[in-house]
Structure 1
Amino acid sequence: MRALLVVNPAATTTSARTRDVLAHALASDLKLEVAATEYRGHARDLARQAAEGGEIELVVALGGDGTVNEVVNGLLHNGPDPEGLPKLAVVPGGSTNVFARALGLPNDAVEATGALLDALRERSSRTVGLGLVSGTPGTEDEGVPARWFTFCAGLGFDAGVVGRVEQQREHGKRSTHALYIRQVMRQFLAEPNRRTGTITLERPGEDPVTDLVLTLVCNTSPWTYLGNRPIYASPRASFDTALDVLGLSRLSTAAVARYATQLLRSTPERGPEGKHATSLHDLTDFTLHSQAPLPFQVDGDHLGLRMSATFTGVRRALRVIV
């Protein structure tokens, strides 16, 4: 099998020596080409070339969730085709690795490589659903390029946290869970709309959900991890269904304390709930509108400010080796 290994040299938890060992192990079972990313978006470009070239059968992403997202967007540049496109494999190398862990892969890069090689020998794979977000027709965001996401997107509070973390990383800070917690607190103190939200969720044939402060769009569960603890914002979200949404209409001090506690205690059977929480399951098409520009993120990548975004849940989008 001809394969392309896309390596992010800046991956948080994988050293250069480990990457070399992993590449050597993969090359023992694959006709392997190795490409290191050199700029933001490079992994997307490499995966697109692999998909359009017609010779590569497998693309392996070695890096964090951002690298995986770029590879997925490159593979799906011309749309989903699970049987015709190269398959995807993931070796976790980031700080959280939500997508890889949601697939059931070990969080250690060496162990995950062993699991990948076993899956290749056993011809084990699955088709996963993904989310697609695009600009909303008739709005100022209409021309925004569409973007695939593997596990989550968000408009509002959580995206503001992501933006703050990225700013800290640009100043040399390491991406740690402690860093995220500090930025959550700073975003909460600076949040101007925590008592009256500006976001409305619209979906065909249903009444709109209004006055949301926070909207998390989940493609799988867990939503994220705090160390080794899985956090379930939308417990019923799955790679086998469309998209789930958790919306919160208030972020007062009491509400934040309540929902943070619920998230920390969340399980595959139970997530956040209450009179200010809205949970929606298996949505294929919906749009988020805001009365003011808000931070927007996709798979933990801050994409600036948006006033609207249109979401599509695409079942059976891509074949993954697991």
Structure 2
Amino acid sequence: MMKYTFILNPNSRSGMGGMIWETIEPELIKRQVEYECLRTDYPGHAMKLVRELTADREEHILAVLGGDGTVNEVINGICDISKVTLGYIPTGSSNDFARGMKLPKDPLKALEVILNPGEIKKMDVGLLTRAGKERRFAVSTGIGFDAAICHQAAVSKLKVLLNRLKLGKLTYVGIALNRLFHDKPVKAEVTLDDGVTKQYKKVYFIAAMNNPYEGGGFYFCPDARSSDRQLDVIIISNLPKLAVLLLLPTAYKGWHVHFPGISVMQCKKVCVKMERALPVHTDGEPVFLRKEIKAELLKEQIRVISA
């Protein structure tokens, strides 16, 4: 039996991650599971720990206990994606990775899936390139309105409070309303696999998605599948702000895709050029402001433990 390496973010969901580990570890001991636990102490630490761990390029089972941001760090730290099997116990605010992969929210149920997998799925891994730098993503990458929400949520005191009240998802809703009325939409050029460049006016955001959910449950790309070797791209453009405000609630059910101003398409690669530099994110983790980004898929897929 291979050893499980747990990557624990004790500060996820404002400290809930550490408390959840206190319920997980006794179960591992009781079952006599061979494991080690690597705790993260600061942003970027999970990536460093995983890079050191997988530098041997041998087979590893990594079980992440944290939020989407921790998953993102782990994905970016893996030296050889094809040699890793990934398990996940969601303890974050949005948990879109777990939602998209249909993993249990309950920590003990998620642990049961890791220890007794129903299926090992192969998952595509996205790659964002901006200003010559690369960063992988599991859920999505985006530029504009959705990324601005992620940037603000990362430093939000409201998020800490709502997490303690188990209402962390509302953080993104509140910030979305604030950003909607303060951010000005821009012109954009989008180029897909066929090399044809299309112009879009009054663009609020563009996201390339590997999973269907983003931002704490927004069902932005209902047809996105994490193993189909395609990215689903959504563009919100040429709409008055009031219309965007009214459409946002429908995105929780995926109904927004039927309205004018919402463009969804599939591709293997997308290049986006914005009129001005805007916030960028990968899996909800802020990236510096950029005018141009490119998103595509890695050749290798990662194995994910599923129910």
Alignment-mate amino acid for residue 87 of structure 2: A
Aligned counterpart, 1:205: 194
- In 2, Cα distance between equivalents of 1:151 and 1:59: 18
- In 2, Cα distance between equivalents of 1:104 and 1:286: 26
Aligned counterpart, 1:277: 262
- In 1, Cα distance between equivalents of 2:177 and 2:19: 37
Runs of 4+ in 1 over 6 A off after TM superposition: none
- In 1, Cα distance between equivalents of 2:250 and 2:113: 33
Q: 1:217: how far off?
A: 1.4
- The match for 1:21 among 20, 23, 33 is 23
Unaligned regions of 5+ residues in structure 1, if any? 136-140
- In 2, Cα distance between equivalents of 1:134 and 1:162: 18
- In 1, Cα distance between equivalents of 2:58 and 2:269: 34
Aligned counterpart, 1:182: 174
Contact 1:29 1:117 in 2 (8 A): no
RMSD over aligned CA atoms reads 2.3
Which shows bigger deviation, 167-176 or 51-60? 167-176
Q: 1:69: how far off?
A: 0.8
Aligned counterpart, 2:275: 291
Contact 1:221 1:232 in 2 (8 A): yes
Unaligned regions of 5+ residues in structure 2, if any? none
Alignment-mate amino acid for residue 8 of structure 2: V
Q: Secondary structure at the residue paired with 2:125?
A: strand
Aligned counterpart, 2:155: 167
- The match for 1:65 among 55, 65, 68 is 68
Q: Secondary structure at the residue paired with 1:222?
A: coil
Instruction: List per-residue Cα deviations over 1:35-71 (Å, max 9, x = no partner).
Output: 1101111111111122113566211110111111111
- The match for 2:220 among 233, 238, 241 is 233
Query: Which protein is richer in helix relative to its size?
Result: 2
Q: 1:251: how far off?
A: 4.2
Q: 1:64 to 1:172 in 2, by over 3 A?
A: closer
Q: 1:54 to 1:219 in 2, by over 3 A?
A: closer
Alignment-mate amino acid for residue 186 of structure 1: N
Aligned counterpart, 2:213: 222
- In 2, Cα distance between equivalents of 1:174 and 1:53: 41
Count of aligned residue pairs for this structure pair: 296
Instruction: Compute the TM-score of the two structures, normalised by the length of structure 2.
Output: 0.88
- In 2, Cα distance between equivalents of 1:166 and 1:173: 13
Q: Does 1:32 align with 2:17?
A: no
Instruction: Compute the TM-score of the two structures, normalised by the length of structure 1.
Output: 0.84
- In 2, Cα distance between equivalents of 1:46 and 1:170: 30
- In 1, Cα distance between equivalents of 2:68 and 2:155: 18
